[in-house]
Structure 1
Amino acid sequence: MPVGFWVFPWDIEDEGIDRFAARLDELGVTSASPSVLYHSGRALLPRAREHKVRLLGGPGANYPFESLETPLAGMESASAPGTGKRFWQGLAEARSDRGIRLNAWAMPMHGSELGRRLSVAVVRNCFGNPYSYALCPSHPQARRFAESLVGELARSRIFHAIQLESVGYLGYRHFHHHEAEYVGHGPLEELFLSLCFCDACMAGARREGISVVELRESISRDLERRWRDDVWSVGVEDVREALAANDDLQAFISYRQATVASLVSSLAELCHSESTELHCFSAIFPPTLEHSTWIEGTDFAAWSRVLDRLIVFGYTAGGPGAAKVDEGWTRSELEYAGRYFDPSRVNVVLNLAPQYLATLDDARRRFRTISEMGFNDLSITNYGMTSETRLDWVPELGRVLDAPASST
């Protein structure tokens, strides 16, 4: 059964391409998804020779893009492979020799550097405040950037698939550095703060007959009232009631889904014209509510008609007892995805970190649960951030996947 790894290019460069490819072979890994465009952050890399802690800031392109226009040209990361395109061509040759699929992992709508360079196209909440880490998929310049990026990767013929981790609306919960909030905050407040009311979204909503100015003002007033009165939502029912009570809110959600679906369709066409697959994450972070990826504009029904593969998270909670919580959550989310996508077209991402899977037995159970549901394409995040001990679990987990259900 296929098992893949998400990986940063600097981890490959640190090990050397040949050693990296050989290690994947030893682990029984069948695909690798190196990051070609990433956001700001901090990575703890326990197996790195030198940079055990790597700060990821500034420009985030790890691939030497040539087709991007100003102001997005020249975004190459300081951590990008020093040999440029030769690194990627060498990686393609090494994976071809060993039968490993090479995919390109990109975040076209997420990154503080993207927002800094293209500030006119960032998400803006109901108060008009910009989310500088998020480009808005309604904005023509953001869409052109995504199309340029995906088109160049597909034309390179280096990659089996382009895998997009951010293609929709990044909401309030998709963090910026040093987040702080000291008021009650539940799923309805998160939804309200995740809606974009930039000029492009406002214009698009008006074309759909939505009273979007009134909607923005209503949401702003409701948030201010909640903060003033120290009240907040506690569950999914609050969200359902808000949607049922406001036709414009429902229509605005549908508009967002149609906007993202049209972008995904355009990107899929670019990929398919170059015999390259397009895979998209259902959401950039696991949702806080069941089946709520629509908050980011995801529309499984529309996506299923154009995507080669949907990518979903198989973990979410973290912390004590996470394995038990996550197993039920994973089952529910996969059943939901399975209504629209055949399981053979779904990749499930797992994380072997202790806060998600405390023991090898926990990992075995999670892999077995997913396999028994018929989902046979799994990947693990992240190669360089996984300890040697847990990396050594992978062959055993592969055997769990390959074993008949009755013997596991």
Structure 2
Amino acid sequence: MRNGVFAYTWDLVGDPDTAARFADLGADTVTLQASYHSVRATTAWHPRHRVVHAEHAAAYFRLRPESWGGLRLQPPAPSWGVEDEDRFGTATAALTAVGLRTEAWVVLTHSSALGGSAPDLTVRNAYGERFGYALCPAQPDVWEYALMLVREICEQYDVPALVLEACGWLGFEHGSHHEKTSGADLSTCAKDLLSICLCPACARGLSVDVDELAADIRTTIDRELQDGIPAGQNLVEALGRDRAQAVYDHRRQVITGLVAEAASIARGREVLLMATDDPQVTGPDVGVDLTAFEVQRPDGFVVKCWDDEEAAIARVKAAAARTDVPIVANVNALGERPAELPALAARLVAAGASGLRYYHGGLASPARQAAIRAAVEEVQ
């Protein structure tokens, strides 16, 4: 049973007390940002800043030009927080010094910066519109970029595990600046239809008539938007079983292939995959049949438990019943009722979770940190 907290490098770099503060939570593991998307975050205790605005996706490990020279996609370095060319290494050393285990938290396909510089490598919906924040993992250049992130971390740092986020497609709901989409009342199914990537790489991987598929998706979505006729309950109902299965099969092949190659590069280290057991889902937690990993299974599935408590319990229980791969519950300590965190942790363990990661050690207020501490004690 590992108990861990998520953290950003800027929580630690430049603050000599943060590592000890994390250790005081009782956790044994810190899931530390190694490559990450844009974000604005508070830093309540840092001696030099209170708000960090990461304006674009960046790599927080040491960037070696010789490793990236031949690749079309190259991660930018951060220019915010405390200046340090190897923030991940500095933060990892601080955590190691207080006896904490570090997992490298690696976001693979979420980058508005890279999507803006290479729009042809981003997700393209049935209307031909690009999601600039979403790199398409079926594109060979994106594949090479994602694996180079993994390779560079493994070659430079002696971390025992990597947590892979956005190891597939990001879809319609995740997410642009200043969203103005809620008033259209799009159903979940319509959003899932808008999330299907039909870029040239995906078109080659789908065993269907892609032009016909795109036209049918447009008709279905427009009918819902303009006439109020629901798209359906799911992709099978909206597209037909064969075409929905073609989408699922394509996603499965890309995701499992990418995980297998990442695991091969990370040989000797655990690879934990942020995932949900629903092939219709797109987002930072990839939607994939948890039993689909035939060549190389991940060492654990990180299952998000941020929503309704009963839904989270059911999700963990179902995932644990589906696979013998360990299930790690990703628990939101930033929710509305932090005092209920210990009881939730106990229920998740009873449902089949073999570990917990609390989101987020650096963002949590003193009251929320106390709730994390109590939750760790509850399940130890």
Q: Provide the TM-score with structure 2 as the length reference.
A: 0.90
- Find the counterpart in structure 1 of residue 174 from structure 2: 174
Is 1:258–2:292 an aligned residue pair? no
Is 1:222–2:220 an aligned residue pair? yes
> Is contact 1:261–1:299 with CA below 8 Å preserved after alignment?
no
- Find the counterpart in structure 2 of residue 241 from structure 1: 237
CA RMSD, Structure 1 to Structure 2 (Å): 2.2
Q: AA paired with 1:348? A: A
Is 1:314–2:309 an aligned residue pair? no
Alpha-carbon deviation of 1:22?
Answer: 1.9
**Residues 188 and 92 of structure 1, relative CA distance in 2, 3 Å threshold:** closer
> Is contact 2:193–2:235 with CA below 8 Å preserved after alignment?
no
Alpha-carbon deviation of 1:83?
Answer: 2.9
- Find the counterpart in structure 1 of residue 270 from structure 2: 277
Alignment of 1:17-96 (within 5 A): 19-66=17-64, 67-69=67-69, 71-73=72-74, 75-79=76-80, 82-85=83-86, 87-96=87-96
> Is contact 2:115–2:134 with CA below 8 Å preserved after alignment?
yes
- How many angstroms apart in 2 are the aligned matches of 1:301 and 1:221? 34
Is 1:340–2:313 an aligned residue pair? no
How many residue pairs align between the two structures?
371
- Find the counterpart in structure 2 of residue 350 from structure 1: 331
Other structure's SS at 2:31 match:
strand
> Is contact 2:12–2:94 with CA below 8 Å preserved after alignment?
no
**Residues 6 and 122 of structure 1, relative CA distance in 2, 3 Å threshold:** same
> Is contact 2:330–2:358 with CA below 8 Å preserved after alignment?
yes
- How many angstroms apart in 2 are the aligned matches of 1:152 and 1:112? 21
Alpha-carbon deviation of 1:151?
Answer: 0.8
> Is contact 2:164–2:273 with CA below 8 Å preserved after alignment?
yes
- How many angstroms apart in 2 are the aligned matches of 1:368 and 1:310? 19
Query: Alpha-carbon deviations, 1:176-226, whole Å to 9, x = none?
Result: 111112322111101100100001101122xxx322221111111211222
**Residues 115 and 196 of structure 1, relative CA distance in 2, 3 Å threshold:** same
> Is contact 1:183–1:230 with CA below 8 Å preserved after alignment?
no
Unmatched tracts of structure 1, length 5 or more: 284-290, 317-325, 403-408
Q: AA paired with 2:197? A: C
Q: Provide the TM-score with structure 1 as the length reference.
A: 0.84
- How many angstroms apart in 2 are the aligned matches of 1:230 and 1:32? 47
- Find the counterpart in structure 2 of residue 319 from structure 1: none
Query: Alpha-carbon deviations, 1:325-377, whole Å to 9, x = none?
Result: x211111111221133337x22111111243xx141x1122111012223231
Query: Alpha-carbon deviations, 1:24-51, whole Å to 9, x = none?
Result: 2222110112211111222233444453
Query: Alpha-carbon deviations, 1:97-128, whole Å to 9, x = none?
Result: 44321111121100101212332210000011
Unmatched tracts of structure 2, length 5 or more: none
Q: AA paired with 1:39? A: H
- How many angstroms apart in 1 are the aligned matches of 2:82 and 2:68? 19
- Find the counterpart in structure 2 of residue 138 from structure 1: 138
> Is contact 2:236–2:244 with CA below 8 Å preserved after alignment?
no
- How many angstroms apart in 1 are the aligned matches of 2:13 and 2:157? 21
- Find the counterpart in structure 2 of residue 373 from structure 1: 351
**Residues 99 and 125 of structure 1, relative CA distance in 2, 3 Å threshold:** same
Other structure's SS at 1:386 match:
coil
My pick for the range that moved more, 189-198 or 93-102, is 93-102
1:232 aligned to 230, 236, 242, which one?
Answer: 230
Q: AA paired with 1:302? A: A
Identity %: 25
Other structure's SS at 1:189 match:
helix
**Residues 339 and 118 of structure 1, relative CA distance in 2, 3 Å threshold:** farther
- How many angstroms apart in 1 are the aligned matches of 2:95 and 2:22? 9
**Residues 124 and 94 of structure 1, relative CA distance in 2, 3 Å threshold:** same
Is 1:187–2:181 an aligned residue pair? no
**Residues 20 and 158 of structure 1, relative CA distance in 2, 3 Å threshold:** farther
- How many angstroms apart in 1 are the aligned matches of 2:362 and 2:22? 12
Which of the pair is proportionally richer in strand?
2
- How many angstroms apart in 2 are the aligned matches of 1:73 and 1:3? 33
- How many angstroms apart in 2 are the aligned matches of 1:11 and 1:77? 14
- Find the counterpart in structure 2 of residue 322 from structure 1: none
- How many angstroms apart in 2 are the aligned matches of 1:175 and 1:73? 22
- Find the counterpart in structure 1 of residue 362 from structure 2: 384
Alpha-carbon deviation of 1:59?
Answer: 4.5
**Residues 27 and 280 of structure 1, relative CA distance in 2, 3 Å threshold:** same
- How many angstroms apart in 1 are the aligned matches of 2:90 and 2:13? 11
> Is contact 1:210–1:252 with CA below 8 Å preserved after alignment?
no
- How many angstroms apart in 2 are the aligned matches of 1:187 and 1:177? 20
- Find the counterpart in structure 1 of residue 278 from structure 2: 292
- How many angstroms apart in 1 are the aligned matches of 2:161 and 2:134? 23
- Find the counterpart in structure 2 of residue 399 from structure 1: 377
- Find the counterpart in structure 2 of residue 116 from structure 1: 116
Other structure's SS at 2:281 match:
helix
Q: AA paired with 2:266? A: C
- How many angstroms apart in 1 are the aligned matches of 2:88 and 2:39? 23
**Residues 238 and 23 of structure 1, relative CA distance in 2, 3 Å threshold:** closer
Alpha-carbon deviation of 1:293?
Answer: 4.9
